[in-house]
Structure 1
Amino acid sequence: MSDTVTRYHTATIDGLDVFYREAGDPARPTLLLLHGFPSSSHMFRELIAALADEYHLVAPDHIGFGQSAMPSVNQFTYSFDRLTEITEKLIEHLGLERFAIYIHDYGAPIGLRIASARPERITAIISQSGNAYTEGFTPFWDRLFAHAQDRAANEDEVREYFTPETTRWQYTHGVPADRLDRIAPETWQLDQAGLDRKGNDAVQLQLFWDYQFNLDGYPAFQEYFRTHQPPLLVTWGRNDEIFGAAGAEAFKRDLPDGEYHLLDAGHFALETHGDEIAGYIRDFLGRQEALR
């Protein structure tokens, strides 16, 4: 079988099934793809196919998402620290020693914990709405931060983020009219099927609440940027109303030599601008390899 064909695997990590997609020759440079809410590694399916001829790609589903295990909130501590631990153990299981990370949404606090803890492993960072600065938060977050302060009083409003209407909105909002026909309906339908599983609402509510602690890590992430100057590629939807374009621009304070592209796209820019993003990545990572 060709190395460019995507393979689907499940590893046992801490007694839990962790699903991941893999393609490309492991001897080539590795790119670890970390998805966000409410998606899964499925969001990277076309990017994996586009890059597998030159890169080794690994895209896991976080616990509680996609095809990975979904223990109840009584069986598993749903926190970003714990999701990071699981991802770290998968990295060890796969024997990944050096790799670039692609961070999107929830993937950002996970990936940046990994990067700042072991900077020597990170060859580059690619951020698509992968936030690391308070400037990136939009009014979308107002009810989430209110929920962090008072869960009971704000739970009903937060639950609106689990509805089919909101899931579809995350894919379509900010997308130019001439690119809406690039978004396959099964994208949001698959995400919604994950949200609709019995018990998944409790999982997502717990992660919503825990998100507040990611902000405590921002100073350490930013210090990592300043100290280690990892190569950075930003491919961010400038019309994203979940993580706003100001969050992309903020990286310039600490990583002025990064490469910045604000695309005419929304939150899930890969769905509408996948070819452009793949091209930027191929050029960017190729230059990083040439410098080594």
Structure 2
Amino acid sequence: MTDSLAPDLPFEGSKPKKKKKQKRSKGLHGHTWDAHLILAIGALTMLFPFLWQIKLALSTRAEVVEIPMNLWPEKLRWENFARVFEFVPFTEQMTVTVSYAILRVLAELVTCSLAGYAFARMRFRGRKVIFFLLLTVLMVPGQIFLIPQYQMVDAAGLLDNFFAILAPGLVSAFGVFFMMQYFRRIPEELVDAAKLDGCNPWQMFWKIMLPLARPALFSFGVITLLSAWNSLLWPLVVINSTEKYPVAVGLAMLQGDHLVGPDYPMIMAASLMAMAPVFLAFAIMQKKVIEGFALSSFR
């Protein structure tokens, strides 16, 4: 009995069995050359158009169309950036674009967060009908509203005015739906606890819901900023003065102001200057932006 319970010990003089070495698989954080190579190729592929744009902005018109094409110009033509200000009022257009983008982002964050909270957490008469109309607006292309919006702006006497560009962007159906979906994901227990503490609907929104919705606000803010920065069709319809155009319209004007054909070096230089504020904003808020997209309702 004792022999059966005794551990199996090696006899004297016998060779102990060698344990097989288990291969340790590298995890996600393992440094492997093939993973870095794939990431480097992907990064270069995404950066190549941007690097080519810089090359064109520093070239001459002859170097742009020459065959075979050189990977880098013989002489850096920094004067292409200065020539932009000779053809379009770039400073005034950049001021209009920055003001429009900031005001539109702030307006949509306020209106869409309030409306999204109302649809997600409040019950009121006609809620389902209004929500159905909201979804209908999302399904219809924005160009369909161009003529009614133009007639409303014209009736208000806002044509060729900065507020004519801003008015349709004060609220967004997509933003309301976006924020509503995020507010719905917040646990109901927090709402019940706030009600037990005596919070009214405004206090519940301001002190509980809005702080928890910061990732969604950052994500939606970035989407709105890019949409406002690239706005082209609506300002082209309601604005007549060149200095009141946003920078996207100014870049489009550069393509048709030359008899010999588009001046691609100058257009690329103007595009780089137009992209600079967006890159700067992303560099400052990079951590918040990535966190916002990672935790937003698009997961």
Where on the TM-score scale, by shorter chain, does this alignment land: which range? under 0.3
Q: Specify which structure has the higher proportion of strand.
A: 1
What TM-score comes out, normalization by structure 1 length? 0.22
Q: Specify which structure has the higher proportion of helix.
A: 2
